[in-house]
Amino acid sequence: MKLVVAVDKEWGIGYKGDLLARVSADLKNFKDLTSGKIVILGSNTLATFPGGKALKNRTNIVLHPSEEYHPEDTTVVHSIEHLLEEVKKYNTDDVFVIGGASVYKQMLPYCDTAYVTKFDKSFEKDVYFPNLDEDKNWKMVSKSETQISEPEKDTEADLAFYFIEYKRK
């Protein structure tokens, strides 16, 4: 399994239930990585999507404890054990964990690749992702050239960021 996450300098990922920044190049990278694939997410993450609807052109698997929770166009699982059984139906190279913090924390041990968009800025944040640079089980295998956000398209003007790939050792 793989994961996709956008973090700031201190590995923050969100504030008050939303992304730290909306950067079109990051969103395009996310779409390119996950289109036609299986995405694993929590219900809070699903709620942040346009209209609270499942992502198109992907199999959306939502982890949620309630048996009564059934959002449209999703497969709902109620435990990590149930989730791990569900993903056995798919090629694990096609499965991407996409958040939020609780789902990342629970699923990180099962992932072998992390695609991280790293913003070169400290944002106000209340949710974090584990710092893979300090985790002896992970190593950076590639880092893009510096990217700069576009003021006319993005919520943050002139934001420097990188696309980084990590692999589990």
- The pLDDT score that the predictor gives to residue 120 is 98
Whole-number pLDDT of residue 156? 92
Write down all domains in the chain, each with its CATH number in brackets: 2-168 (3.40.430.10)
Which pLDDT value is given to residue 158? 94
Angle at 59 between CA 55 and CA 62, to 5 degrees: 80
Give me the pLDDT at residue 119, please: 98
Q: Are 83 and 97 in contact (CB under 8 A)?
A: no
Is pTM beyond 0.75? Reply is yes
Residue 154: what pLDDT? 96
- 3-state class (DSSP) for residue 129: coil
Q: pLDDT at position 7, please? A: 98
pLDDT at site 83:
97
**Contact assessment for residue 144 and residue 161, using Cβ atoms and an 8 Å cutoff:** no
Closest CA to 129 of 90, 34, 119: 119
Both structure tokens of 31: 């779409």
Measured CA to CA, the distance from residue 21 to residue 156 in angstroms comes to 6
Q: Provide CB contacts within 8 A for 101, sequence distance 6+.
A: 13, 14, 127, 128, 129
Question: pLDDT at position 114, please?
Answer: 98
Using 70 as the pLDDT threshold, list the residues of the chain that sit under it.
Answer: none
For residue range 107-129, what is the model confidence (pLDDT) as tens digits?
999 999 999 999 999 999 999 99
Q: Are 15 and 101 in contact (CB under 8 A)?
A: no
